[in-house]
């Protein structure tokens, strides 16, 4: 990871132009050439230093529902519950965390109304309560992460 | 930065563009022209629609998402805070502005089990560094910090992309 890669990542966390030759424009800002910028992006995507480069879509604004949910699952039941929960296509991410609320997953549904329905189905299927924590507000400022 | 959720219906070209860019922006010198070819439209139309979606917030931004883990930030903690509800705006903006915080959200409490209303993802090279950064947040919040915890993830149980709602996905 050299200074140029770092500069590219830091610059590209702040948006990308919509114009005919956007790489050329950003490359000029970074004082490198267009093809070098493209090649370095390609390499960083291939070796997974970047997990993505492109438009980031906002699920709720596209008409869908999104929520973070937490559950408290006893260890001896954990694997079985994971299997049941992961079987729901609406479960996008699921993480085990060190806490009495030890399972945290993100639900993404076609409509906001559908969130409640899926929550109920998960409660019925697993027998444990789901704590629904949809975001009330997002503080955008920190989307950028300095390297 | 208050977010109001006005759902704007997507038209067919919007949907086609979203589909065509799910994997990312083409890495060719005229990426919007490449998208136009894929969706059977013109570069001008594609750029206009993408600009419109960006203005409406359907596209948050076009940009790079660093993989914190691969970049050596192996300690990622979800810090959760109990701050006074009437101070959430100020606290959220303050915490969200820190360069080691990637996301900050206001979420509902579930008392008595869960009294936290502010979530901030904190990234560091290891757990110790995350804990030091959390201490910085605590100092910054001062009296508004009525209690906090850090939840480290121990296992990824599932990770898939978000599905495209309401259509041909």
Tokens standing for A121? 């189905």
The whole-model pTM stands at: 0.78
- Kindly provide the ipTM of the predicted complex, given to two decimals: 0.77
Residue B96 is assigned to a structural domain of this protein: yes
What per-residue confidence (pLDDT) applies to B20? 94
Q: Looking at the structure, do residues B41 and B84 belong to the same domain, yes or no?
A: no
Residues of A in contact with B119 (CB under 8 A): 68
Burial of A137 (0-12, 13-18, 19+ CB in 10 A): middle
Q: Check if B58 contacts A (Cβ < 8 Å).
A: yes
pLDDT at residue B160 tops 80: no
> pLDDT band at B168, cuts 50/70/90?
very low
In a domain, B40, yes or no: yes
Residues B36-53 have a mean pLDDT of 97
DSSP annotation of B141 reads: H
B64, B104, B162 ranked by CB distance to A59: nearest:
B162
Question: Containing domain of residue B96, as a range?
Answer: 75-152
- The answer, for B65 touching chain A at a CB cutoff of 8 Å, is yes
| Per-residue pLDDT at B48 | 98
Residue B67: pLDDT band (50, 70, 90) is confident
B152 touches chain A (CB under 8 A): yes
Task: Walk me through the domains of chain A, giving residue ranges and CATH numbers.
Answer: 3-46 (no CATH), 60-132 (3.30.70.3460)
**Minimal-distance CA residue of chain A relative to B27:** A38
Q: Residue B169's pLDDT is what? A: 33
pLDDT of residue B10: 85
Q: Quick one: pLDDT at residue A146?
A: 60
Give dist(CA B34, CA B27) in Å, integer.
9
| Substitution target from A6, A19, A54 for chain B, most B beta carbons within 10 A | A54
Residue B66 near chain A (CB below 8 Å) = yes
Task: Indicate whether B153 pLDDT > 90.
Answer: no
Rounded to the nearest 10 degrees, the angle between the axes of helix B31-39 and helix B12-20 is: 120
CA angle B112, B122, B127 (to 5 degrees): 95
pLDDT value at position B39?
97
**Statement to judge: residues B79 and B123 lie in one domain:** yes
Those residues of chain A that have pLDDT short of 50 are 142
Q: What is d(CA B71, CA B69) in angstroms, rounded to the nearest whole number?
A: 5
A78 in reach of chain B (CB within 8 A): no
Where do runs of H (alpha helix) occur along A31-141?
34-46, 75-86, 114-126
DSSP-derived secondary structure letter, B71: T
| Residues B48 and B80 both lie in one domain | no
- The reply to whether B27 and B91 lie within a common domain is no
Q: Are residues B49 and B85 in the same domain?
A: no
User: Does any CB of chain B come closer than 8 Å to the CB of residue A89?
Assistant: yes
Chain B CB contacts of A134 below 8 Å = 107-108
> Does B138 lie in the same domain as B97?
yes
Opening angle at CA B167, ends B163 and B161, nearest 5: 10
What is the domain count for chain B? 2
B8 CA: distance to closest CA in chain A (Å): 7
Quote the CA–CA distance of A42 and A22 in Å, as a whole number.
16
State the pLDDT confidence band at B99, using cuts at 50, 70 and 90.
confident
Provide the pLDDT confidence category of residue B3 given band limits of 50, 70 and 90. Answer: very low
Yes or no, beta carbons of A139 and B96 under 8 Å apart: yes
- B89 lies in some domain: yes
Exposure letters B83-115 (e unless 16+ CB within 10 A, then b): beeebbeebbebbbebebbbbbbbbeeeeeebe
The answer on B79 and B37 residing in a single domain is: no
Q: Are A138 and B105 in contact (CB under 8 A)?
A: yes
Q: Identify which has the larger pLDDT, B4 or B144.
A: B144
CA distance B143 to chain A (A): 21
Q: How far apart are CA B140 and CA A36, in angstroms?
A: 41
Cis peptide before A39 (omega within 30 of 0): no
Q: Give yes or no for B44 touching A (CB within 8 A).
A: no
Q: Is residue B157 part of a domain?
A: no
Q: What is the pLDDT of residues B100-123, one digit of tens each?
A: 888 899 999 999 999 999 999 998
Same domain, B90 and B142: yes
**What does pLDDT average to over chain B?**
88
What per-residue confidence (pLDDT) applies to B165? 47
Phi, psi for residue B110 in degrees, rounded to 5: -130, 70
Q: Tell me if A110 and B166 make a contact (CB, 8 A cut-off).
A: yes
């Amino acid at each position: 990871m050299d200074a140029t890669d770092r500069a590219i990542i830091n610059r590209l966390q702040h948006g990308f132009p919509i114009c005919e030759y956007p790489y050329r424009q950003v490359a000029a800002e970074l004082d490198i050439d267009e093809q070098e910028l493209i090649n370095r992006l390609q390499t960083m995507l291939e070796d997974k230093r970047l997990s993505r480069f492109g438009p980031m879509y906002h699920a709720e604004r596209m008409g869908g529902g999104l929520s973070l949910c937490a559950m408290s699952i006893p260890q001896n039941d954990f694997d079985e519950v994971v299997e049941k929960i992961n079987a729901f296509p609406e479960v996008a991410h699921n993480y085990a965390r060190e806490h009495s609320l030890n399972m945290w997953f993100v639900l993404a549904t076609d409509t906001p109304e559908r969130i409640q329905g899926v929550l109920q189905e998960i409660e019925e299927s697993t027998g444990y309560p789901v704590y629904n924590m949809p975001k009330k507000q997002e503080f955008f400022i920190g989307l950028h992460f300095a390297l | 930065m208050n977010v109001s959720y006005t759902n704007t219906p997507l038209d067919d070209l919007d949907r086609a563009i979203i589909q065509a860019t799910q994997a990312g922006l083409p890495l060719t010198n005229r990426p919007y022209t490449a998208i136009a070819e894929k969706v059977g439209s013109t570069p001008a139309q594609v750029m206009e629609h993408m600009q419109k979606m960006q203005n409406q917030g359907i596209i948050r931004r076009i940009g790079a998402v660093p993989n914190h883990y691969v970049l050596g930030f192996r300690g990622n903690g979800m810090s959760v805070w109990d701050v006074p509800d009437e101070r959430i705006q100020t606290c959220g903006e303050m915490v969200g502005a820190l360069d080691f915080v990637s996301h900050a959200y206001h979420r509902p409490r579930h008392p008595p089990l869960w009294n936290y209303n502010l979530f901030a993802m904190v990234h560091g090279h290891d757990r110790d560094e995350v804990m030091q950064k959390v201490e910085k947040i605590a100092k910054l919040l001062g009296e508004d910090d009525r209690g906090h915890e850090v939840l480290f993830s121990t296992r990824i149980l599932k990770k898939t992309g978000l599905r495209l709602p309401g259509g041909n996905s």
